[in-house]
Amino acid sequence: MHGRESKYAYTMRHLNSRARHSVVIVIVTIRESAHVHLESPSFSAPITNVTAAVGREAILTCLVQDLGNFKVAWLRVDTQTILTIHNHVITKNHRIGVTHSEHKTWFLHIREIKATDKGWYMCQINTDPMKSQVGYLDVVVPPDILDYATSTDVVIREGSNVNLHCVAKGFPTPSIMWKRETGEMIKLDFAGAEGSVLNLTRVSRQQMGPYLCIASNGVPPSVSKRIMLIVHFPPMVWIKNQLVGAYEGQQVTLECHLEAFPKSINYWINERGEIISQSSEYDPTQKSHNYKIYMKLKIEHVMQSDYGKYKCIAKNALGETDGTIQLFCKYTKAGFRDLPGSKGIDDSLFL
């Protein structure tokens, strides 16, 4: 039986020359048990390959019949490392464990799986000649987006082209998909929004907002990164009614629609060039959403001096624009008509 003993001693000397005391104990145990075995053990089924995710536990199973007093060992093939012999863990790797069920089913436990645990593992019986079979542990890694290689928030001028980058690691290699956080379609010159680079050409203000790059490889969880696309453009004014008529004493509201980014400074002036501020007679207000602004100027009681031209003005770092509204006097109903051409006017202008 010396051949069986030398197999374990040879392997373990290559594993750790400092563990001679442990080797002597193992050899003695095998020598004593070798005299009483009656039948030659065998494997009742091949080892099933196992796939496990990083951080989880992997269990390799070795099915043995007629083991008798022989011993089962687990080894790491690529490093020729003995991991366990029978009920004993030989390696100093605290993540390794061994259990069995009635000496027929032997389990190699690898806890807190690392990517480096990937490879072939051998289940070995110390017969003469030695019997062994191998199983493969495949380690999968969930996706992780690499910040250093992925775009941060981007600021561009309207009409420019831009490339958004998203790089992820993992195993299998992650695939990248792009979505708008708002759920809107991504406008492209080609079909699809997949791949590590999202190419946007002639970008418009409607494309401004948060984009998500989503990395997935079938190993949960998928991960995403939010990239803000900021589009700068000078102010633009749209006026629905350029001519507004009102009776003296009537309340009237002038309206002006703006688009600008960065956000603009907005105000009203009269035809004398005076800025109109909040007062008992005038109520300038504005509401904004993203890059759109809705300006209103409410005149509480129109007086003769209020008739004339009003301008809504918008300024930002990229430019300035204005829109003009003419407030004219409507005649009273005492036998007078409205000004010629003023009835039903609904002129529009986009400046």
Alpha carbon distance 219, 229 (integer Å): 29
Mind listing the pLDDT tens digit for each residue in 47-89? 999 999 999 999 999 999 999 999 999 999 999 999 999 999 9
Mark whether 333 and 259 lie in a shared domain: yes
Read off the pLDDT band of 186 (50, 70, 90).
Answer: confident
Does 1 score more than 90 pLDDT? no
Mark whether 223 and 262 lie in a shared domain: no
Alpha carbon distance 167, 143 (integer Å): 10
Strand pairing report for 168-171 and 131-145: antiparallel
Read off the pLDDT band of 248 (50, 70, 90).
Answer: very high
Mark whether 9 and 121 lie in a shared domain: yes
Mark whether 210 and 258 lie in a shared domain: no
Q: What is the pLDDT of residue 334?
A: 52
* Boundary residue ending a domain (185, 210, 232): 232
CATH number at residue 66: 2.60.40.10
Mark whether 17 and 105 lie in a shared domain: yes
Task: Tally Cβ neighbours within 10 Å of residue 235.
Answer: 25
Mark whether 123 and 162 lie in a shared domain: no
Alpha carbon distance 346, 244 (integer Å): 9
With H, G, I as helix, E, B as strand and everything else as coil, classify residue 126: coil
**Does the predicted model carry a pTM greater than 0.75?**
no
Q: What is the pLDDT of residue 183?
A: 87
With H, G, I as helix, E, B as strand and everything else as coil, classify residue 28: helix
Mark whether 163 and 256 lie in a shared domain: no
Q: What is the pLDDT of residue 175?
A: 96
* Boundary residue ending a domain (203, 232, 261): 232
Mark whether 71 and 154 lie in a shared domain: no
- Strand-by-strand arrangement of the 58-65 sheet: 42-45, 58-65, 105-110, 96-101
Q: Are 119 and 111 in contact (CB under 8 A)?
A: no
Q: Which structural domain, as residue segments, surrounds residue 244? A: 240-350
What value does the mean pLDDT of the chain take? 86
Mark whether 15 and 132 lie in a shared domain: yes
Mark whether 156 and 137 lie in a shared domain: no
Q: How many domains does the chain have?
A: 3
* Boundary residue ending a domain (141, 158, 186): 141
Mark whether 204 and 246 lie in a shared domain: no
Mind listing the pLDDT tens digit for each residue in 117-158? 999 999 999 999 999 999 999 999 999 999 999 999 999 999
Mark whether 247 and 309 lie in a shared domain: yes
Q: Are 328 and 342 in contact (CB under 8 A)?
A: yes
Mind listing the pLDDT tens digit for each residue in 161-184? 999 999 999 999 999 999 999 888
